[in-house]
């Protein structure tokens, strides 16, 4: 079920009530949360439950036998668990991609292979919970996390419904211990959670879903559009995907807060970044820190010289692109983003304040425009479509008024202003130090926006396809 559906609006209060009715009964709370999480996930397709059960069971069992002594037996169990989990992910997400790519190579040399195609659905959230399971195995192997014998708590750790489908991608050392100890209801934390859910719904329904229509119309046939319109599409899509994905993350983190559970942050005002390096420290934080910890550091990080650091960065961003989708457009997107970070390996490190200031706005604008143009690759359904966009940008007209400019004034400017003044908080309405009547005026105002200006079409979250 989607976070912005009426079903979830009924589901969440019921789970919240049931969970706290069972307070001081940790096992029953976890069992109830596990049942709720499987109900939430099975709402899309109950057959997907079999895969998450396999991932949970194999990772739990391997965690019991893996030791931090790095013995041959531990390495064998770690490898076995990786083969199972990555094998499932590769089969469902990447089989056809690699098969088609290898077929194209063979046809280039004159061969004409005829291999089967797997016509299977991509299970929702498989990329996210697979990384979460892998991180547990590595952390146990490296002694960063203690293996648990509490099978119910571990299965909840893998399937916890707020972050199951699209993150944040959790670490066992952060989330798992929260299911192993009794929790007391925290009224203030629940209030913050409700505010975060409300803000996430505004971002998704009012900003992202309304921008989706503009972006779709601008990029439907890029070859017949002006260059200014494609440029506008890049700007609008950058805000669409940011509002869509960070809106999902806000709802996920806010929902977890209702159960007094703290999830990792996923976004921190990335469009107020002063360079591309800072932006990637603020965008999809849980994935980027995962890639840094489990790929970049094992490859040597920045400890083996500048050129090796460059290679490691390119590997990480190529993997990031492929993780996002089984298409060369995503690999291109990841690779180009990696290239944009290479100059920072050789430049002298510059220290910035935590929050952008007015004097930083030109740098923020330049960084955003670079990021938005690169994201055309992310949005393009195939390489041919991306080529059309790039040709139009290179040879089209910038003198015509771009289509979709009204979206800037209706959605983006108000959104940017609110985020700018709230940028020193986790989310703009996290703390509202004002009279009660003023706070409730804000709540009702945001609900009014959702009811009357939210897009009416049922638009799926972009990251559900990954």
Q: Is the peptide bond before 196 cis (omega within 30 degrees of 0)?
A: no
Q: Measure the CA–CA gap between 311 and 137, rounded to whole angstroms.
A: 26
**Lookup: tokens for 50:** 């079999």
**221 has catalytic annotation:** no
- To which residue do tokens 């439950």 refer? 49
Q: Which residues 6+ apart lie within 8 Å of 390 measured at CB?
A: 376
Contacts 24+ apart (CB under 8 A), 409-416: 410/210, 411/206, 411/207, 411/210, 411/211, 411/239, 412/207, 412/211, 412/235, 412/236, 412/239, 415/203, 415/207, 415/239, 415/243, 416/271
Q: Measure the CA–CA gap between 201 and 451, rounded to whole angstroms.
A: 11
Task: Give the CA-trace dihedral at 371, 132, 245, 345, to 10 degrees.
Answer: -10
Beta strands in 322-463 (DSSP E): none
Query: Exactly one of 70, 221, 284, 324 is catalytic; which is it?
Result: 324
**Lookup: tokens for 346:** 């050789």
Any idea which residues carry the catalytic annotation?
324
């Amino acid at each position: 079920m989607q976070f912005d559906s009426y079903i979830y609006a009924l589901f969440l209060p019921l789970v919240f009530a049931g969970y706290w009715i069972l307070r001081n009964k940790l096992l029953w709370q976890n069992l109830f949360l596990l049942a709720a999480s499987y109900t939430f996930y099975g709402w899309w397709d109950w057959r997907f439950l079999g895969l998450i059960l396999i991932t949970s069971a194999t990772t739990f069992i391997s965690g019991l036998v893996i030791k931090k002594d790095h013995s041959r037996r531990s390495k064998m169990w770690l490898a076995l668990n990786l083969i199972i989990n990555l094998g499932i992910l590769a089969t469902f997400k990447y089989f056809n991609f690699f098969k088609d790519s290898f077929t194209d190579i063979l046809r280039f040399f004159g061969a004409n292979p005829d291999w089967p195609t797997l016509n299977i659905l991509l299970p929702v959230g498989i990329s996210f919970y697979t990384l979460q399971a892998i991180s547990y195995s590595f952390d146990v192997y490296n002694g960063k996390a203690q293996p648990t014998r509490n099978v119910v708590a571990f299965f909840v750790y893998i399937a916890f419904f707020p972050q199951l489908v699209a993150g944040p991608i959790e670490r066992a050392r952060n989330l798992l211990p929260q299911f192993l100890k009794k929790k007391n209801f925290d009224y203030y934390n629940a209030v913050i959670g409700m505010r975060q859910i409300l803000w996430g719904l505004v971002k998704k329904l009012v900003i992202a879903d309304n921008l989706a229509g503009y972006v779709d119309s601008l990029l439907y046939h890029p070859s017949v559009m002006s260059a200014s319109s494609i440029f506008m599409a890049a700007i609008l899509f950058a805000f669409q995907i940011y509002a869509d994905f960070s809106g999902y993350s806000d709802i996920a983190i806010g929902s977890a807060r209702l159960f007094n559970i703290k999830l990792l942050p996923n976004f921190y005002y990335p469009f107020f970044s002063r360079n591309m390096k800072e932006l990637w420290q603020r965008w999809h934080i849980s994935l980027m820190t995962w890639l840094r910890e489990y790929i970049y550091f094992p490859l040597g990080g920045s400890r083996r010289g500048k050129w090796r650091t460059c290679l490691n960065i390119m590997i990480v961003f190529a993997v990031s692109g492929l993780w996002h989708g089984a298409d060369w457009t995503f690999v291109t997107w990841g690779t180009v983003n990696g290239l944009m970070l290479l100059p920072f390996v050789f430049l002298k490190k510059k220290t910035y304040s935590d929050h952008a200031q007015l004097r930083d706005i030109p740098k923020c604008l330049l960084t955003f425009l670079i990021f938005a143009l690169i994201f055309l690759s992310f949005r393009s359904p195939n390489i041919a479509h991306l080529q059309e966009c790039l040709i139009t940008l290179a040879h089209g007209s910038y003198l015509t008024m771009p289509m979709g400019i009204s979206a800037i004034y209706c959605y983006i400017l108000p959104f940017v202003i609110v985020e700018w003044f709230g940028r020193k908080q986790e989310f703009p309405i996290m703390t509202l130090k004002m009279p009660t009547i003023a706070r409730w005026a804000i709540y009702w105002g945001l609900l009014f926006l959702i009811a009357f200006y939210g897009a009416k079409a049922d638009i799926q979250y972009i990251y559900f396809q990954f």
